Structure 1
Amino acid sequence: MVVHAVAPPLSGASLSAQHWENLTFLHWPVEPAAVTEFMPPGVRPDVIDGFTYVALVPFQMRGAGPGGRLPVPYFGDFCETNVRLYSVDEQGRSGIVFRTLEADRLATVLLARFGLGLAYTWSKMSAVHAGDLWRYESARRWPRSGRAPLRSALTIRVGDPVEPTPLEIWLTARWGLHTRLAGRTVWIPNEHGAWPLRSAEILDLRDDLVDGVGVPVAGDMLRPLFSPGVRTTFGLPTVVTG
């Protein structure tokens, strides 16, 4: 499946808009059969050269709000770390399925979890930087599984701008997500500009999230990438299957 680096324009009304800022992308290959069970009905793992992928993506959400125009102070600004898989539906739309979206704003977690069917969890989080260093930390608060909270900690040094490889375009140019909402699988499209990407050197990585959500990696990590971010707009959901 070809994934285009330029987003198709949204049609109709907008669901929401937000800025994704100061992201780090970490990717590992995964055997498709190992994550088929996490795909909603009508969706399968998206595969390139025999593998699908799992990503760990910490970042800062800024100015999120409904309808594409109205950022919501406080509730629209928070730290997030997500674990995402790569999906494709019966209409050939390549997207993302989230295994978890750790966030430190409880009201936003509850709204997205119960209103959009997304796997948001409430966590204690931080994202701080000094010069070219970024440090992201997360410790889950709710819902908990077991006594110890799932944690993630990552420190990187941001490097020079880079041109993405075809695989990196395939991984980062995703123009929608698949989720389960009101008993149906839905596609929620999004649109944003091309990612400005930079190299990233990992200085420290201690993560429970990828393993904690049941995703077994099948090879070495790809090169880490950092982006100062993009502004994105989400369209309204459409049904994939009942």
Structure 2
Amino acid sequence: MDQRWEDAVFLHWRIPVPAAAARMPPGVRPDVVDGSAWVGLVGFRMHRIRLGAAVPLPWLGSFPEINVRLYSREPDGTRGVVFLSLDAPRLAVVLGARAAGLPYVWSQCRAVGPGRSDPGVGYDVRRRGGRTTSAFAVRPDPTVRADDELSVELTARFGLHSRFAGRTVHVPVSHEAWTLHPATVTHVVDGLVAAAGIDVEGPPASVLYSSGVRTRIGRPRTVRGT
């Protein structure tokens, strides 16, 4: 699939390595960055979805997706993302992705900004039934590039690890490097990370924004030994 991810907001907290290890699929371990495992709360707008590079899927439209993620590494060094949850408002996307083994949740999701008078960018989520909600927003600084090693390590992920048909698979994702900017949290009241079974305290240790990238999702392969 070919698609564009726009107005990406990255919130990251440090967590103990054992907490991440307990959620890894067989065959991969937590990827330790700057001495810690990390959990990310990431929101962006999915746009221009295509099958391959030629067949557009305009009926899916543009919609926000909010995910909770951990970071993984295979014995050969291949790195990836392990999704604990992915919230989206398009039922067809949710059903198709769940059939492929990804933990999508059909939710009410809304993107906020940026606007002319307010450069803030954020996302609101309410899961069906209303028991789990999330609302977070940041104000990016477009005059500064976040090109430090930690920011790049937390976002330069070119694949995901998941379980499918009893095996651990790696799905490659290719895109240009994110153009990252540091950002300030304007508010965060989140229940998605806790609902995924991860405990965090205090404000996120890393807050980043990117206007977006075009991505291509490739064919999965089975992780050796699983």
- TM-score, structure 1 length as denominator? 0.86
Contact 1:94 1:176 in 2 (8 A): yes
Structure 2 residue aligned with 1:138: 125
Whether 1:217 aligns to 2:204 is no
Q: CA deviation at 1:71?
A: 2.5
Paired amino acid for 2:68: V
Whether 1:159 aligns to 2:131 is no
Unpaired runs of 5+ residues, structure 2, are none
Structure 2 residue aligned with 1:10: none
Please say which of residues 125-134 and 95-104 is displaced more in the overlay.
Answer: 125-134
Residue-by-residue CA offset, 1:35-73 (whole Å, 9 max, x unaligned)? 212111101111124311000011100012222332311
Q: CA deviation at 1:162?
A: 1.5
Q: 1:74 to 1:128 in 2, by over 3 A?
A: farther
- TM-score, structure 2 length as denominator? 0.92
- SS state at 1:38 partner: coil
Q: CA deviation at 1:219?
A: 6.9
Say what the alpha-carbon RMSD is for the aligned residues. 1.6
- SS state at 2:141 partner: strand
Structure 2 residue aligned with 1:117: 101
Q: 1:184 to 1:21 in 2, by over 3 A?
A: same
Contact 2:29 2:74 in 1 (8 A): yes
Structure 2 residue aligned with 1:48: 33
Q: Distance in 2 between matches of 1:224 and 1:214?
A: 21
> Of 8, 11, 14, which residue of structure 2 is paired with 1:29?
14
Paired amino acid for 2:41: L
Q: CA deviation at 1:206?
A: 0.6
- Higher RCO (CA-CA < 8 Å; seq separation 6+): 1
- SS state at 2:135 partner: strand
Structure 2 residue aligned with 1:106: 91
Paired amino acid for 2:157: R
4+ residue runs of structure 1 moved beyond 4 angstroms?
none
Identity rate of aligned residues, in percent? 44
Matches within 5 A, 1:81-96: 81-96=66-81
Q: Distance in 2 between matches of 1:61 and 1:33?
A: 32
Contact 1:30 1:219 in 2 (8 A): no
Structure 1 residue aligned with 2:111: 127
